[in-house]
């Protein structure tokens, strides 16, 4: 009699353990893949996050993303297809650099809820603003790389030739002036001579 009572107590305790920890015994659904992956460093703009499990999941499954500052990232509604669920980051939301935690909660094929979480890091370098100084740098570089224009070399021969040409022009100009004076003098003499003859004839 005592032996039967002991057996019943043991069986009752086993049933109590089974119903007290259903997730531990029946939860076979596990996270297989994710994007971003656990521990991954994201260096480009992130638009959506997807989780893939080893079995199909129910429609009540979902997840959320929390920044290290405890601020939750705004997401669209969860899309579930077979064993994968995806949520898009709301348009106009830019993730700040830092550590993010994905907290997921699914309903497995056996109907039991399962929870889990993992972290990833966002490290996007800020774009350098275009300033007036930066814009002029390529122009300055082009000017520095351009070949300087050649300046005609002035030699002693060139200077002597130029001086000789100048003196020749001066001498020619002086010669021309002498001839002009000579012609003008002859014309004046002829006029004076003509006037004198006219006056002599009148006196006669």
Per-residue pLDDT reduced to its tens digit, 105-124:
999 877 889 999 999 999 99
Q: Is the torsion defined by CA of 155, 158, 159, 160 positive or negative? A: positive
Q: Name the pairing type of β-strands 41-42 and 113-122.
A: parallel
Is 24's pLDDT higher than 50? no
The fraction of the chain above a pLDDT of 70, given in percent, is: 58
**Whole-number Å distance between alpha carbons of 107 and 116:** 12
Look at 195 and 16; give whichever has higher pLDDT: 195
Tell if the pTM clears 0.85, that is, is over it.
Answer: no
Where residue 92 falls (left for φ over 0; alpha for ψ -120 to 50; beta otherwise) is left
């Amino acid at each position: 009699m005592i032996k039967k009572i002991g057996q019943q107590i043991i069986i009752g305790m086993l049933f109590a353990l089974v119903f007290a920890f259903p997730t531990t015994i029946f939860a076979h659904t596990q996270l297989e893949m994710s994007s971003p992956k656990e521990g991954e460093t994201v260096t480009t703009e992130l638009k959506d996050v997807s989780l893939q499990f080893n079995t199909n999941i129910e429609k009540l499954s979902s997840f959320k993303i929390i920044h290290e500052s405890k601020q939750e990232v705004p997401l669209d509604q969860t899309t579930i297809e077979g064993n994968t669920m995806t949520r898009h980051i709301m348009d106009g939301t830019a993730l700040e650099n830092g550590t993010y935690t994905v907290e997921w909660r699914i309903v497995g094929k056996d109907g039991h809820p399962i929870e889990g979480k993992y972290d990833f890091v966002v490290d996007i370098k800020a774009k350098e603003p275009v300033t007036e100084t930066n814009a002029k740098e390529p122009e300055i570089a082009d000017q520095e790389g351009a070949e300087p224009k050649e300046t005609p070399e002035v030699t002693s021969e060139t200077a002597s030739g130029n001086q000789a040409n100048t003196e020749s022009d001066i001498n020619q100009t002086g010669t021309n002036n002498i001839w002009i004076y000579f012609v003008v003098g002859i014309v004046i003499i002829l006029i004076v001579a003509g006037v004198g003859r006219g006056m002599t004839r009148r006196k006669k």
